[in-house]
A and B are shown apart, each in its own frame.
Chain A
Amino acid sequence: MSLSRFLGKSVLYLAAFSAVFPMVWTAINAFKNRVDIVTPTPLFIFTPTLDNFAYVLGRDSVAAGLVNSVIAAGGSVLIGALLGLPAAYAIARYPNRWSADIQFFVLSLRFLPPVAVAIPLMVIWLDLGFYDTRLSLIVTYTLLTLATVIWLGVPAFARVPKEVEEAARVDGYGPYAVFFLIALPIASRSLIGAVAFAFVLVWNEFLIALMLTTSDAKTLPIVASELTQLGRDVPWGILNASVVLLSIPPLLLIGILSGLLNNAFRRKSN
């Protein structure tokens, strides 16, 4: 018994180690000079340098990519939340004979291979003259954020106790007031998680941005991937620094997302 316990724990620790170590190693390398990275034996002790971050943050393309990412992700998540949350509420609280179909339609958008959406959209935006603009990215990403917010919002609203809403109605609240003043605040923790998830999804998105932008609207993942593929005299330290920079915003949201996960399952178990 104790042996299996030991083995089981070892596997868990190993998995936990594998989850964080690659990123930690990358972060360490981001503070190294090239000579300390290109060594036959990996180095743990070295003289740290901030040059890599200084270079990455000093490049115009990175700053532009950051702004584009913030605008594209922020804009599409905002639209997704403004339109998606009411829709999710309507599906959760006013079921009709199309509800199941609507939910399936929203889910089925996720079936579409991204490349299959990106190729025609590239042509459409080219023909309309909106290729490589932030506007076209926001509109395209709204497809992603809206569907995600609806999909994750429905169960969040469904978990709001019906009695509370009915009590409010008895107190004279209209249907809109119930949504804004009762359902929304009560479900807010899960809903923030849903919105955060949509943000991470768009922030990390790569293929669509790769096909819909060339210079003006390039997002951070594209800039980072260009840096990582530079090739010549591979500036490994710089690459590591740009990857770290790209990964920080999603990692900041990890607490909110694990909260979403906990909420989703806690109610079920009751």
Chain B
Amino acid sequence: MTSRTRLPAVFLAPPLLILAVLAFVPTAYAIYISFRNRELSRPDGSFVGLANYIDLFSDRRFVNAIGVSLTWELVTVTLTLLVAIVLGILMFEFASARQRAVLTLIFLVPVILPRVSAAFVWKFAFHPLYGIVTYPYKAITGQPLDLLSNPATALMTVALVDVWQWGLFFGVIVLKLLETLPPQPFEAARLDHARPWEVYLYVALPMLKAPLISLTFIKMIESLRAFDLIYVMTRGGPGIVTETLDMYAFSQGFIESGRISYASSMAVLMMVATTVIFTVIWKRVKP
């Protein structure tokens, strides 16, 4: 009976139409301008075929940006999950219900902050002369510590802020997931004299495999949004060691030279890569 109502069509058609237009028009347009040589200051431009794409692969900065972006994904996703699991287990093991409630609220703070704020807060904390994080090092060794201008540490330092934002938040989710588990397997394992870490490693985490994979997937998507942090903290520097794909596409398409078509070809490649990779992963994860 209910299936005869027109409600689904009425409720679904307008939003889906809007989403489709908002998603496909820019995508199609990006592909279109990527075959031209349009620049910000010259709205004309002509058809150049695949020239932009061919140029990309001999562009040292593009190749570098792919490497930086992949490193960024790997580092932030791994560390976030690691931090989240450790914090989640610690809360589950040691914190009372009241403490859990308080910690939940506290651990939400970093992720709710605008990324611009988070980036600035940490950039100032890492300031070699006035920073509160670098102060102990300076006080002990007498040397300033300039993590953001050192090519060896700059990317990791920015990644730390991302892990700070997401790791604590995911820690709360891991706690909530542990709370949903039935207590029987834990008790059984304890009767077998398993050590606490063995209980978690061999009993609890395997039971949470599916949601943890989902969390990994979500973090992989969210890690694509590195731009805000990098823009405020390093601008891709020193040199180009923190120049991710979005940072490079932005500077080519807008600030540095306004080569919109060239930047679009990068955008198209990024769209294709992320859509294909994430679709494949998604279909695997959710059968």
Contacts and interface: CB of A to CB of B under 8 A. Distances in A.
Given A26-B121, A115-B245, A211-B254, 12 more contacts: A9-B95, A11-B86, A11-B87, A83-B15, A87-B11, A113-B271, A116-B271, A120-B29, A122-B254, A150-B15, A174-B5, A258-B108
A179 B7 contact: yes
Interface of A: 4-5, 8-9, 11-12, 15-16, 18-20, 22-23, 25-26, 29, 37-42, 83-84, 86-87, 89-91, 94, 96, 102, 104-117, 119-124, 126-127, 139-140, 142-143, 146-147, 150, 169, 174-176, 179, 200, 203-204, 206-207, 210-211, 221, 224-225, 228-229, 236, 239-240, 243, 246-247, 250-251, 253-255, 257-258, 261-262, 264-265, 268-269
A267 to B, nearest CB: 10
Contacts of B115: 204, 206
A124 B116 contact: no
Contacts, number: 267
Contacts of A247: 113-114, 117
A140 B124 CA distance: 32
Give chain B's interface secondary structure class. Answer: helix
Contact of B267 (A11, A115, A250): A115
Interface stretch (B49-57, B184-192, B201-209, B275-283): B275-283
Contact of A15 (B5, B27, B122, B171): B171
Interface string B80-119: 0000001100110111000000011111111011111100
B246 A115 contact: yes
Contacts of B240: none
Given A25-B132, A143-B19, A236-B124, A119 B107 contact: no
Nearest to A247: B117
A119 B105 contact: no
B117 A224 contact: yes
Given A5-B94, A246-B114, A257-B108, A114 B246 contact: yes
